[in-house]
Chain A
Amino acid sequence: MFPWQTTAYMAETAISLFIKSSESWRRHLAKHEEITRMLFNVIDELNELRPAEEHLEKNLVAPLTGDSGRLDSAGLINLIVLTEQQTAEELGRPILLTDDRTLSQVKEVFGTLGTLAEYIQRLLSEKRDG
């Protein structure tokens, strides 16, 4: 192999790796968007149960649980059940949000819609990898 061939090979490999990683990033973003859309539908459902002044916001950073969150324990149960239901229906894959692993980190998982979306994405990718 000539030296100029080695350089070309290295450049090609680097470009290919870059393309692959950006594709996987794009897939990640697309899935995140899909999960967010699904969670916004869950919020629409939850809001049917609540007076207008107590509606939950459809954004990823507004606190859901904890001291500044609007969800009480009954609201959290509804969020869990509806999220499981809609993940299976809209994303085509069931997840479990009532196992010890999830319930031992309620504040972290259900802190905001953003943290919940990240967690669901992790569960779905674990399932795929497993």
Chain B
Amino acid sequence: MDKQQHTCVLVSDFNLQNFSGYLTNDPEFPRIHAITAPFGQTVPTLLHQDAPCWQNTPDVAVVWTQPQAVIADFNALLRYEQVRLQQLLQQVDEYSALLVNMSERVNYAFVPSWVLPSYRSVFGVLDMKTEIGLTNTIMRMNLRLAENLEKTSNIYVFNTHRWIEQAGNHAFNPKLWYLGKIVFGNEVFKAAVRDIKAALGGMLGLARKLIILDLDDTLWGGIVGDVGWENLVLGGHHHLGEAYVDFQQALKSMKNRGILLAIVSKNEEPVALEAIRKHPEMVLKLEDFAGWRINWQDKAQNVVDLMSELNLGPQSAVFIDDNPAERARINESLPEVLVPDWPEDPLFYPSALLSLGCFEMPSLSQEDLVRTTLYLSENKRQALKKTVGSLEEWLSRLSLRVQVEELHPANLQRAAQLLNKTNQMNLSTRRLPEAELMAWAENKHHRLWTLRVSDKFGDAGLTGIVSLDIQGQSAQIVDFILSCRVMGRKIEEAMLATAINHVRESGVKDVYARYIRTSKNKPCLDFFQSLAPRFQPQGDRFIHDSKTPFAVPKHIELVQ
């Protein structure tokens, strides 16, 4: 878990003291310490990097404004004066430029979209008319703002309407405004804190990657072993059947966003798999699952086995089961697995899943979209492993290919994602947003390579990063990161060979790796310890004499 406290600057034209209170005192991770810039000073605060609020090198900024406070023509429109839409949108562009400029001072900037209290739409049917209606205009302004900020990789626009809906009648309270210049009710601020923390968690690599599902009365209604797959409650003209289908559709949409699905169920495997294959209303197909354990064993042991097969830690998983006893078992034995309280009524399953807020991802890469396919390829690899005698023989039959590339704009997004999400094979676990990573790699003393791994079963994509900081006669391996999907195939050694070859060519004498311990990166320590005598341990460092070459394993074709 991320123990660090993140400093967050709040910039607004209205009083955000309540929001600041919730943000700072919420006990959930990541922990945030909020600093509130003087309210009503939005533009000067955004403009001046010397303002006191920016002096403590904050990680995060939230810039939350009322549209009439920062867009002059919208203020005129509120008085029902005539304004030209183009001119108003130009003011949105100018405001966007201020936000982009400010975003260079922080790692992540969050901008809640503009809203108006519902009592403002006094002209009813004219509300959606261009250049007259306030709602029409504010929708265009929000779209323009989102488009303008899309190009800046560390600014994220939140949909404030979602928070307003969650707060219901308590979203606005004129008393809060007139007594304290507080625009929103506290329920809006609480919803905002939940979303901002979920987003920040995703950016810091705390997002969950795997949903482990029970089958009977979870994925479908009924006990398949008792009633047979033909009589399960799933789809059809039945309110419960429809809810199960919607739940599966919600799961499928998550799978399409790169979240892995898996099954842990107490059942006869052939019976359960037959239901998945044959039931005509099953939205989820067998190929949508990265793995499964369907047997009568203890579910906690099955979850451990499954996560080991998928090379994921318990902090990556969410466990969904209708049975409270099974949930309690996992909660007790695997506390890092997220076990949400699950509604008794299946009609609430889809909304319970969609409101979990633990799958936030700052971006979607090609690898995310095909993640399940990558895991299924891994299953084939493991099947091959069982048929061959030694590890070397298995590796030699994989036809492994590693393509090495420098960091460039086309691979930056995925590289930053890998840097910020990988926990196990990670030497220093440093987290950087895209722009900072690029700036670091462009420094003349630094080199950073990305590695794409493929074999005869498929392309795992960009799954490795190795970087060097060269100062005089000494080179430090700063980042040494490999996705858990491709660990254990000696790609680690190909990464080291890439870095050490460069060091040798540059005539630098020593190369060392400094291991920074976290609760999750022991696999990285084990790997470096296994390299002795090629790398000599010395305290938290592993030192290699660059006079000695470091060979690429024979079974790997290294392409540069």
Q: A: which residues have CB within 8 A of B? A: 45, 48-52, 73-74, 77-78, 80-82, 84-85, 98
Q: B117 in the interface, Cβ–Cβ < 8 Å?
A: no
The answer to whether A84 touches B22 (Cβ under 8 A) is no
Interface residues in B174-189 (C-beta closer than 8 Å to A)? 175-176, 179-180, 182, 186
Contact B18 A78, beta carbon cutoff 8 Å: yes
A77 with B182: CB separation less than 8 A: yes
Distance in Å: Cβ of B357 to nearest Cβ of chain A? 18
| Contact of B21 with A by CB under 8 A | yes
B173 to chain A: which residues have CB within 8 Å?
81, 85
Cβ A81 vs Cβ B175 within 8 A: yes
Among residues of A, the one whose C-beta sits closest to the C-beta of B21 is A49
Instruction: State the Cβ distance, A68 to closest chain B Cβ, in Å.
Output: 22
Let me know if B21 and A50 touch, CB within 8 A: yes
Asked if A98 and B175 sit within 8 Å, CB to CB, the answer is: yes
Compute how far the CA of A51 lies from the CA of B25 in the bound complex, rounded to whole angstroms.
6
Cα-based distance from A45 to B170 in the complex (angstroms): 14
- Decide if B24 touches A77 in the complex (CB within 8 Å): no
Complex Cα–Cα for A68 and B41 (A):
33
Q: Is the CB of B22 within 8 A of A85?
A: no
- Whether the pair A77, B180 counts as a contact (CB closer than 8 A) is yes
> Is B17 part of the contact surface with A, judged by Cβ < 8 Å?
yes
- Contacts A49-B18, A74-B17, A85-B170; is A80 near B24 (CB within 8 Å)? no
Interface members, chain B 61-105 (any A CB < 8 Å): none
The secondary structure that dominates the A interface is helix
Return chain B residues, CB-CB under 8 Å to A82.
Answer: 186
Chain A's closest residue to B15 (CB) is A74
User: What residues on A are CB-neighbors of B180 within 8 Å?
Assistant: 73-74, 77
Dominant secondary structure of chain B at its interface with chain A = helix
A74 to B25, CA, bound (A): 16
Known interface pairs A50-B25, A51-B25; A45-B176 also in contact (CB < 8 Å): no
5 more CB-based (< 8 A) A-B contacts, given A49-B25, A73-B180, A78-B186: A48-B21, A48-B190, A74-B180, A77-B175, A81-B173
Residues of B within 8 A of A77 (CB): 175-176, 179-180, 182
* Ranked 7 nearest A-B pairs via Cβ: A49-B21, A77-B180, A77-B179, A74-B17, A81-B175, A51-B25, A81-B176
- Distance (Å) between the CB of A32 and the closest chain B CB? 26
Question: Nearest Cβ in chain B — how far from A53, in angstroms?
Answer: 11
Chain A residues with CB under 8 Å of B21's CB are 48-50
Q: Which residues of B contact A85 (CB under 8 A)?
A: 170, 173
Which residues of B in the span 155-206 have a Cβ within 8 Å of any Cβ on A?
A: 170, 173, 175-176, 179-180, 182, 186, 190
Neighbouring B residues of A50 by C-beta, 8 Å: 21, 25
User: What separation, in Å, do the CA atoms of A77 and B24 have in the docked complex?
Assistant: 20
List, in ascending order, chain A residues with CB within 8 A of B176's CB. 77, 81
The distance in angstroms between the C-alpha atoms of A82 and B186, with both chains bound, is 9
- Complex: A28 Cα to B170 Cα, angstroms: 30
CA distance A4 to B60 in the complex (A): 88
**Which residues of B lie under 8 Å from residue A81 when comparing CB positions?**
173, 175-176, 179
Which residue from chain A places its CB closest to the CB of B180 in the assembled complex?
A77
Cα of A84 to Cα of B15 in the assembled complex, Å: 21
Q: B490 to chain A: closest CB distance in Å?
A: 50
A49 to B380, CA, bound (A): 52
Supposing A80-B175, A81-B176 touch, asked if A45 and B24 sit within 8 A by C-beta, the answer is: no
Q: A74-B15, A74-B17 are in contact. Are A48 and B22 (CB under 8 A)?
A: yes
Known: A74-B15, A85-B170. A49 touches B175 (CB 8 A): no
CA distance A5 to B186 in the complex (A): 66
- Chain B 17-48 interface mask (CB, 8 Å, partner A; 1/0): 11001101100000000000000000000000
* Residue from B22, B170, B179, B190 within 8 A of A98 (CB atoms): B179
- The interface residues of chain A lying within 8 Å CB-to-CB of B170 are 85
Residue of B nearest to A84 (CB): B175
Q: How far is the CA of A84 from the CA of B176 in the complex (A)?
A: 12
Provided the pairs A74-B15, A74-B17, A78-B18 are in contact, do residues A48 and B179 lie with their beta carbons within 8 angstroms? no
Q: How far is the CA of A11 from the CA of B18 in the complex (A)?
A: 60
Contact A51 B24 (CB under 8 A): yes
B426 CB to closest chain A CB (Å) equals 33
Determine if A80 and B179 form an interchain contact, defined as CB atoms under 8 angstroms apart. yes
Chain A residue, CB-CB nearest to B24: A51
In the docked arrangement, what's the CA distance between A78 and B18, Å?
9
B18's nearest neighbour on chain A, judged by CB, is A49
How far apart sit A48 and B179, CA to CA, in the bound complex (Å)?
20
Bound complex: CA of A51 vs CA of B24, how far in Å?
Answer: 8
Q: How far is the CA of A85 from the CA of B24 in the complex (A)?
A: 24
Minimum distance in angstroms from B153 CB to a CB of chain A? 33
CB-CB nearest in chain B for A85: B170
Distance in Å: Cβ of B45 to nearest Cβ of chain A: 20
Which residue on chain B has the smallest CB distance to residue A82? B186
